[in-house]
Chain A
């Protein structure tokens, strides 16, 4: 299934990506941010806070926003 994945860490691009059925928020996070800790990110599904075991649905909009973004 396809979801819209937004990574606000780095470039901040939004991409349509393919994920397996039954993928949870925690699994997607591990796949996409392998070296990050979930507690360091605001994780939203369809603009709403999500639990780690929430199962993603086709067309979901998932965003990972770091809690610490350094200005200059």
Chain B
């Protein structure tokens, strides 16, 4: 038997007092005597109005009566909920019971500590490994002053966060809050009756279990990353979906490759060619010498985009016509042996 601990005894007193106060608050049932009295008066007036043939007044009083009875019904239902929870027949825990519970918690867990001024009790779980993934140890901290609100928090000792989120140290813990699931009712009852050994045990078992249907981050995705483009899961070893430009991982649906050099990348790094909409990396996209617009290699002719190329051809044609007017021998320009410009712009001169 462990020696008597006076500080733990004082903490037990405070925790028992908090629970007792909460129990009284839970049993504060409003039976609404004023509402019921008012409803009785309305009913009498409505009957009188009906007997005297004051149908309009009777109708109005009937509406008021319905409203008042609905209020009463709401309060009665609230009271029934409290009573059906069984809170009325559960005695508040004594200081002795809470002390024994805390002593049991201290014996159950390898690490136990408490802070009397802060009214907190902390235990550490064993190393938790779920489906081969080591999540480390967790501190379960009961906050005595928060018994009516957030009575406990979960703190990872050395967090093993998933690669996609830094606020989920466990599949069922977000920040410092456990999403209780099936543990919700046992925890509520354990706290209400001061059964702290059950309380800490239930949390430890919940942290040691995995529900694959509703985790914040599934264990299968724990060591993966989210797709840079759509947020979907991408496994770490899927190198084919790695953006060579920005080094982000992308899923198969968001992965693209440059049609000119086969470089793989994400949406941001592989913009479409504004002309033909083909996937083209930033290295292969070139500016038109004429208008500076970006185009893929297929849409550039001698460093000119389609519009500038056409304009150049027109300019060349105009220039040639002007030259023709000055030429004494027009056959010279029409000669099949006349030299073509190096970029072959002059080919457009063939008559339609």
Q: Which of B180, B185, B201 has a CB less than 8 Å from the CB of A11?
A: B185
Number of interface residues of A (CB under 8 A): 21
Given contacts A47-B101, A71-B178, A72-B180, contact A65 B185 (CB under 8 A): no
* B193 contact set on A, CB distance < 8 A: 14
Within 8 A of B (CB), among A37-72: 42, 44, 47-48, 63, 65-72
Q: Are B182 and A70 in contact (CB under 8 A)?
A: yes
Decide if A8 touches B198 in the complex (CB within 8 Å): yes
* Number of residues of chain B lying within 8 A (CB) of chain A: 36
A-facing residues in B84-103 (Cβ within 8 Å): 86, 90, 100-101
Let me know if A3 is at the binding interface, CB within 8 A.
no
> Is B201 in contact with A70, judged by CB distance below 8 angstroms?
no
Residue from A11, A47, A63, A72 having most chain B Cβ neighbours under 10 A: A72
Interface-located stretch among B23-31, B73-81, B205-213: B205-213
Verify B205–A10 contact, CB threshold 8 A: no
* Most chain B CB atoms below 10 A, which of A8, A13, A44, A68: A8
Give bound CA distance, A67 to B202, whole Å.
Answer: 8
| A63–B180 touching, CB < 8 Å | no
How far apart are the CA atoms of A38 and B182 in the complex, in Å? 19
Contact A71 B208 (CB under 8 A): no
Of A10, A67, A71, the contact of B179 (CB 8 Å cutoff):
A71
Q: Which residues of the partner chain B approach A63 to less than 8 Å between Cβ atoms?
A: 197-198
Residue of A9, A12, A48, A68 touching B190 (CB-CB under 8 A)? A12
Shortest Cβ distance from B103 into A: residue: A47
Instruction: Name the CB-closest residue of B to A49.
Output: B108
A12 to B188 alpha-carbon distance, docked (Å):
8
Q: Which of B162-210 touch A at CB < 8 Å?
A: 171-173, 178-183, 185-190, 193, 195, 197-198, 201-202, 205-210
B104 is an interface residue with CB less than 8 A from chain A: yes
Choice from B86, B181, B188 contacting A72 with Cβ under 8 Å: B181
The answer to whether B206 and A71 touch across the interface, beta carbons within 8 angstroms, is yes
Question: Is the CB–CB distance between B198 and A71 below 8 Å?
Answer: no
Please tell me if the beta carbons of B208 and A70 are within 8 angstroms of each other in the complex: no
A44 to B178, CA, bound (A): 25
Q: Name the B residues within 8 Å of A26 (CB-CB).
A: none
Given A66-B205, A70-B209, verify A47-B100 contact (CB < 8 Å): yes
Q: A6-B195, A66-B205, A67-B208 are in contact. Are A72 and B187 (CB under 8 A)?
A: no
**Is B214's CB within 8 Å of the partner chain A?**
yes
Quote the shortest CB–CB distance from B81 to chain A (angstroms): 15
User: B186 to A70, Cβ gap below 8 A?
Assistant: no
* Nearest CB of A to B188, in Å: 7
Q: In the complex where A70-B181, A70-B182 touch, is A12 in contact with B187 (Cβ < 8 A)?
A: yes
In the assembled complex, the Cα of A10 lies from the Cα of B187 at a distance in Å of: 10
The residues of B that contact A8 with a CB separation of less than 8 Å are 186, 190, 198, 201-202
Among B208, B209, B210, residue most surrounded by chain A Cβ atoms (within 10 Å) = B209
Contact residues of B with A, CB < 8 Å?
86, 90, 100-101, 104, 107-108, 171-173, 178-183, 185-190, 193, 195, 197-198, 201-202, 205-211, 214
The 9 closest A-B pairs by CB, nearest first: A12-B186, A71-B172, A72-B181, A47-B104, A70-B211, A12-B189, A71-B181, A8-B186, A69-B206
Pick 11 A–B contacts, CB within 8 A, sort by A.
A9-B186, A10-B186, A13-B189, A14-B90, A42-B205, A67-B205, A69-B205, A71-B172, A71-B180, A71-B181, A71-B209
